[in-house]
């Protein structure tokens, strides 16, 4: 399987999951040109018509897109990893609940703030919105190692990646001690360290 990614983008989440699950992926880092090319000249649009990362090319040639879905797919390949609870369990739905929250409430709020054409007033409103969400997340993390307890899951990989974007948009996470401690805990995981180094982020 081959993962098309940009260093530090949302594709970092399934990359982390793959290493935590013990799954070796071929990695295709895309450049920042308009064509978004991999080292072999393949363009992202030719792999994923949405022209977005991540894109996972499966061994049978099918392409899977959307980070939370790819992460779940990889975790299901290695059930013993504990990255995703068993199908039908309430624990699994709790992880999926977090995955959807991160995607809809955080990820999509960060996105426009990276665009130079986004008005500053909109960015300020987005920072305020995220601050309220961070207040809630900080409370949820009180007394916990990870989002759903003591076990690292795909949802933790996703939240970790998105929270790392905060300094780039002018958000100082020091206000939220449980969040900052959580980020340090996740960052210290050996496989997370390995992934960050592979993407040139450590």
Q: Is-same-fold flag (2-81+191-198; 90-189)?
A: no
Query: What are the backbone dihedrals phi and psi of residue 149, each rounded to the nearest 5 degrees, phi first?
Result: 135, -130
Q: Is the pLDDT reported for residue 175 higher than 90? A: yes
* Residue 39: strand, helix, or coil: coil
Does the bond joining 84 to the residue before it have cis omega, within 30 degrees of 0? no
pLDDT(116) > 90: yes
> pLDDT grade, residue 29 (50/70/90)?
very high
| 2-81+191-198 topology per CATH | Glutaredoxin (3.40.30)
Distance CA 170, CA 145 (A): 26
pLDDT for the residue 134: 98
Give, for 57, the enclosing helix (H) or strand (E).
strand 55-57
Q: Give the right CATH number for 90-189 from 3.20.20.150, 1.20.1050.10, 3.20.10.10, 3.40.710.10.
A: 1.20.1050.10
pTM tops 0.75: yes
Nearest residue to 110 via CA among 43, 158, 176, 44 = 158
For the chain, the domains span: 2-81+191-198, 90-189
Of the pLDDT bands very low, low, confident and very high (cuts 50, 70, 90), residue 78 is: very high
Are 70 and 56 in contact, with CB atoms under 8 Å apart? yes
């Amino acid at each position: 399987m081959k993962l098309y990614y940009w260093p530090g983008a949302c594709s970092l989440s399934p990359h982390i999951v793959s290493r935590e699950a013990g799954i070796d992926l071929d990695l295709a880092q895309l450049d920042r040109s308009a064509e978004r090319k991999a080292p072999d000249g393949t363009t992202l649009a030719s792999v994923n018509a949405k022209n977005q990362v991540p894109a996972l090319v499966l061994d049978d040639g099918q392409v899977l897109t959307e980070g939370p879905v790819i992460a779940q797919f990889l975790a299901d390949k290695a059930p013993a990893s504990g990255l995703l609870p068993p199908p039908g369990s309430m624990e699994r739905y709790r992880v999926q609940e977090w995955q959807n929250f991160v995607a809809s409430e955080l990820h999509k709020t960060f996105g426009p703030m990276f665009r130079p054409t986004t008005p500053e007033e909109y960015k300020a409103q987005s920072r305020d919105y995220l601050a309220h969400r961070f207040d809630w997340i900080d409370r949820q993390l009180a007394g916990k190692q990870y989002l759903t307890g003591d076990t690292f899951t795909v949802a933790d990989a996703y939240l970790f990646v998105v929270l790392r974007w905060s300094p780039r948009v002018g958000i100082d996470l020091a206000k939220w001690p449980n969040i900052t401690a959580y980020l340090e805990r996740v960052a210290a995981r050996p496989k997370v360290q390995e992934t960050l180094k592979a993407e040139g982020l450590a």
